[in-house]
Structure 1
Amino acid sequence: MSLHDELTATQRCLDDLARSVSRLEERIGTGLEIRRVRSDTEHLKESLSLLRAATPQEAPEPRVEMVTIPDQPYDSGLWTAASDMDDEGLGAKDRHAP
């Protein structure tokens, strides 16, 4: 999950919390405890807003270009063009491995 997605999910959770606190306030009334919870909720929302503003914007992920590889066999001339070419890991044709 990207940072932007995390911040957005956190914002949604805080919005849900604010709605829940409002419903509680309707049922309980406006006592000291519910005012503290509402105040804490508002502080969290402000803090998240400040965090979002301080967070650098993410650069979009680079697009990966798909390369199609043909099913036809490669030209065998690619592998036998140079007579003095060493075989990978085997050495030259006219020499023997120790």
Structure 2
Amino acid sequence: MSIQDDLTAIQRRLDDLMRSLGTLENHVGHGLDMRRVRTDAEHLRDSLSLLRETAREERGGRPDAEMVTIPDAPYDPSLWKDAEDEGLGYQGRHAP
């Protein structure tokens, strides 16, 4: 199953849970415990919505990684002629 299929299945189950909570609430009333359960279920719905948005951004936000081959041959030394060696200073200079 894909991530979207999993998220859709979870959404259906949460919808079923919310309907069941409505039925249960008719039987037990609107007490503190029932409000806590309903609030927790709403938090699950909010979290699932955020997760769905994150999955959508990750899927559509970046292309698949492309493999880059790095040759084994040494680099041309002229590429580094005017570059500093990090932490060592310019070539020919000495640390104090």
| Number of equivalent positions | 58
User: Counterparts of 1:4-23 in structure 2 under 5 Å?
Assistant: 4-23=4-23
Give me the whole-angstrom Cα distance separating, in 1, the residues matched to 2:2 and 2:50.
Answer: 18
Larger Rg: 1
How far apart are residue 20 of structure 1 and its match? 0.5
How far apart are residue 57 of structure 1 and its match? 3.0
Give me the whole-angstrom Cα distance separating, in 1, the residues matched to 2:8 and 2:34.
Answer: 26
Give me the whole-angstrom Cα distance separating, in 1, the residues matched to 2:47 and 2:23.
Answer: 23
Root-mean-square deviation (CA, aligned residues, Å) is: 1.1
How far apart are residue 6 of structure 1 and its match? 0.2
| Residue equivalent to 1:57 | 59
The structure where helix makes up a greater share of residues is 2
Q: TM-score, normalised by structure 2?
A: 0.58
Identify unmatched segments of 5+ residues in structure 2. 61-96
Give the secondary-structure state (helix, strand or coil) at the position aligned to 2:34. Answer: helix
Q: TM-score, normalised by structure 1?
A: 0.57
Identify unmatched segments of 5+ residues in structure 1. 59-98
Aligned-residue sequence identity (percent) comes to 57
